[in-house]
Amino acid sequence: MSDFKDKVEKRRTFAIISHPDAGKTTLTEKFLLYGGAIQEAGMVKGKQRMRHAVSDWMEIEKQRGISVTSSVLQFNYQGYCINILDTPGHQDFSEDTYRTLMAADSAVMVIDASKGVEAQTRKLFKVCAMRHIPIFTFINKLDRDAKDPYELMEEIEAELGVETCAVNWPIGAGKQFKGVYERATKKVLTFEAVDGYKKEVTENVYHVDDEALKNVIDEDQYATLMDDVELLDGAGAQFDIVKIHEGKQSPVCFGSALTNFGVEPFLQHFLDFSMPPQPRMSDHGMIDPFSEDFSAFVFKIQANMNSRHRDRMAFMRITSGKFEKGMEVYHVQGGKKIKLNQSKQLMADDREEITEAYSGDVIGVFDPGIFSIGDTLTTSKEKFAFEGIPTFAPEHFASIRNKDTMKRKQFVKGISQIAQEGAIQIFTAIGGSFEDIVVGVVGVLQFEVLAYRLKNEYNVEIENTPLPYQFIRWIDNKDIDLNSLNLSSDTRKVQDLRGNNLLLFSNQWGINWATERNKGLELSEFSKNA
Ligand code: G4P
């Protein structure tokens, strides 16, 4: 195999999805520990310190009290080059969180064993399911009191609608969490902490019939394990790699990120079952990730790393070929050749200027204000464009008014530009007037970002009145007479900047009203005309 092909073959790019506090940061750190990117857990640890470590430009945002970034970490493990795309949670949750999932080939879903499936996991899962990407489940915090493992698997199946297959099985929970049983090899891995969990754990391996195992786990645990194994083998779903690759079955592993128990087996299984960079659909058909022509698409734009220069960084996922610093590529939507400069990649503990990157990697390049979300760059003779990135339904809405009507021009320019970057979505009354606009955001912090940026970059002050809408739906019917729609009195008709028609609803009841009383009305949660 050529060096290039080998490099692509060995790349794995995944996003971690979870509800805040499930252990995403801790698990990421432990991956880095096993990959040798850090020597000791705790070095880049503590959510705050880790963020510092991965990105100094975020510091600027932190000083302003805002943070709108999702980052990429790369590390090597057993000859693989692994990219982890962080999906921000907490108050950083935004449309970027969803878009990041568009750049991943698979997802790792971290679930807190005492809590099960939680709200944010559900939202992020939905987006992964839309793309049919493989989803690897890690049930975390087994060192604490945990729900019954069967119950957890059933909950995932019922709540998320995906089949689960236990790849390993926990022996005990809480203080009695001794290890995991590997179903394929019938081996029991028991763990011993090293240096207060800062280092990789010592792993002892026993065959399940090995007498010595009985010195490690007590009789009751052994008996329970035997019963569980019998039940799993008899009644559980059959492991099916094809279904895993299609996102129809999620392999499940158990462990504790904090104590490192089960982390390495999970990472190993992830590598066994995950796939190298996958082809992407374009208007010229599928683009082969192993093709030597460079191509990439922009999935995130981050503004104003340097507030004096109003510069932006465009994050792109490389979809084929090799990136070299300063290379000339064709920007399809701009219709021009451009040079890719100031390429950045986030390594485990530093932000580095990179000189080369491969299909599967994510890079950030300097954006003089020419890129939009979803844009394609390529060196291929065929000037194809990748499928657009969907626009995700905002969850918070506000009416935004420009305080000084003399500054209308700056207001329209600023708010349109910020919307183009994808930080907010703008909706106007049908007809497109900017006098009465509704701004929709996925994360509520984006309102603050908007006010801050309009003031600092465009010298415009706004007034923000929260609106009670909770749901938005794009109207898919192209030839519909909006005036004839029978809607509840609190439903509002608006349009987005592309002229698509939408409905804003205050509650589920309003959606039911609309669909029940307007036969043939097709509503969707994502904009298909991205
Ligand atoms: P997140 O990124 O998903 O939000 O979660 P994070 O890793 O920050 O973990 C949230 C809390 O849960 C942290 O505790 C972390 O130490 C703890 N945690 C993570 N994995 C495990 C685990 O396997 N077992 C146990 N018992 N706890 C775990 P914290 O006290 O909120 O923060 P910190 O001060 O320890 O950083």
Q: Tell me the ipTM for this assembly.
A: 0.97
Distance 23 CA to ligand 1 centre (A): 5
| Annotated binding-site residue numbers | 18-25, 86-90, 140-143
Nearest CA to ligand 1 atom 9: 23
pLDDT band, residue 66 (cuts 50/70/90): very low
**Cβ(289) – ligand 1 distance below 6 Å:** no
- Residue 137 tokens, joined: 């489940």
Its sign, for the CA torsion 465, 471, 475, 476, is positive
pLDDT band, residue 69 (cuts 50/70/90): very low
Task: Compute the distance between CA of residue 332 and CA of residue 378 in angstroms, rounded to an integer.
Answer: 8
Quick check: helix, strand or coil at residue 375? coil
Task: Compute the distance between CA of residue 308 and CA of residue 457 in angstroms, rounded to an integer.
Answer: 9
Please state whether beta strands 356-358 and 322-324 pair in parallel, antiparallel, or not at all (unpaired).
antiparallel
Q: Is the pLDDT of residue 62 over 50?
A: no
Task: Compute the distance between CA of residue 395 and CA of residue 196 in angstroms, rounded to an integer.
Answer: 42
Contact yes or no for 188/226 (Cβ under 8 A): no
Report DSSP letters for 246-315, one per residue.
TTSEEEEEE-BTTTTBTHHHHHHHHHHH--SSPPEEEBTEEEPTT-SS-EEEEEEEEE-SSTTTT-EEEE
Q: DSSP state, 341?
A: -
pLDDT tens-digit map of 429-478 = 887 777 779 999 988 888 988 898 899 889 999 999 999 999 999 999 98
At residue 349, the pLDDT reads 39
At residue 101, the pLDDT reads 93
Task: Compute the distance between CA of residue 91 and CA of residue 242 in angstroms, rounded to an integer.
Answer: 37
Q: Is the pLDDT of residue 93 over 50?
A: yes
pLDDT tens-digit map of 269-287 = 999 999 999 999 999 999 9
pLDDT tens-digit map of 116-145 = 999 999 999 999 999 999 999 999 999 999
Nearest CA to ligand 1 atom 24: 141
Q: Is the pLDDT of residue 60 over 50?
A: no
- Geometric angle at alpha carbon 435, from 431 and 438, rounded to 5°: 80
Closest ligand 1 atom number to CA of residue 27: 7
**Cβ(144) – ligand 1 distance below 6 Å:** yes
At residue 179, the pLDDT reads 93
**Cβ(30) – ligand 1 distance below 6 Å:** no
At residue 51, the pLDDT reads 39
What mean pLDDT is reported for the chain?
A: 87
Distance 308 CA to ligand 1 centre (A): 37
Contact yes or no for 257/23 (Cβ under 8 A): yes
Closest ligand 1 atom number to CA of residue 29: 7
Q: DSSP state, 489?
A: T
Set out the domains of the chain in order of their start, with CATH numbers.
7-173+237-273 (3.40.50.300), 280-378 (2.40.30.10), 396-524 (3.30.70.3280)
**Probe target for ligand 1 pocket from 138, 258, 266, with the most ligand atoms within 8 Å of CB:** 258
Its sign, for the CA torsion 17, 20, 26, 32, is positive
Chain Cα centroid distance, residue 142: 24
Higher pLDDT, 70 or 419: 419
**Cβ(141) – ligand 1 distance below 6 Å:** yes
Closest ligand 1 atom number to CA of residue 90: 4
At residue 308, the pLDDT reads 54
| Annotated binding-site residue numbers for GTP | 18-25, 86-90, 140-143
- Residue 274 tokens, joined: 């995950």
Q: Is the pLDDT of residue 394 over 60?
A: yes
pLDDT tens-digit map of 500-515 = 999 999 999 999 999 9
Task: Compute the distance between CA of residue 29 and CA of residue 42 in angstroms, rounded to an integer.
Answer: 8
Closest ligand 1 atom number to CA of residue 45: 36
Distance 90 CA to ligand 1 centre (A): 14
Closest ligand 1 atom number to CA of residue 28: 7
Task: Compute the distance between CA of residue 356 and CA of residue 349 in angstroms, rounded to an integer.
Answer: 18
Q: Out of 75-89, 95-109, 331-345, 455-469, which region has the weakest mean confidence (pLDDT)?
A: 331-345
Distance 25 CA to ligand 1 centre (A): 7
**Mean pLDDT, rounded, for 348-376:** 80
**Cβ(46) – ligand 1 distance below 6 Å:** yes
Task: Compute the distance between CA of residue 164 and CA of residue 248 in angstroms, rounded to an integer.
Answer: 9
Task: Compute the distance between CA of residue 66 and CA of residue 447 in angstroms, rounded to an integer.
Answer: 10
Q: Is the pLDDT of residue 295 over 50?
A: yes
**Cβ(131) – ligand 1 distance below 6 Å:** no
pLDDT band, residue 518 (cuts 50/70/90): very high
pLDDT tens-digit map of 180-230 = 999 999 999 998 877 676 677 788 898 988 888 888 888 999 999 999 999
Task: Compute the distance between CA of residue 91 and CA of residue 443 in angstroms, rounded to an integer.
Answer: 7
Q: Out of 238-242, 289-293, 417-421, 517-521, which region has the weakest mean confidence (pLDDT)?
A: 417-421
Distance 26 CA to ligand 1 centre (A): 6
**Mean pLDDT, rounded, for 418-428:** 88
Identity of the residue numbered 64: R
**Cβ(258) – ligand 1 distance below 6 Å:** yes
At residue 418, the pLDDT reads 87
Say what the pTM is.
0.87
At residue 443, the pLDDT reads 84
Distance 500 CA to ligand 1 centre (A): 43
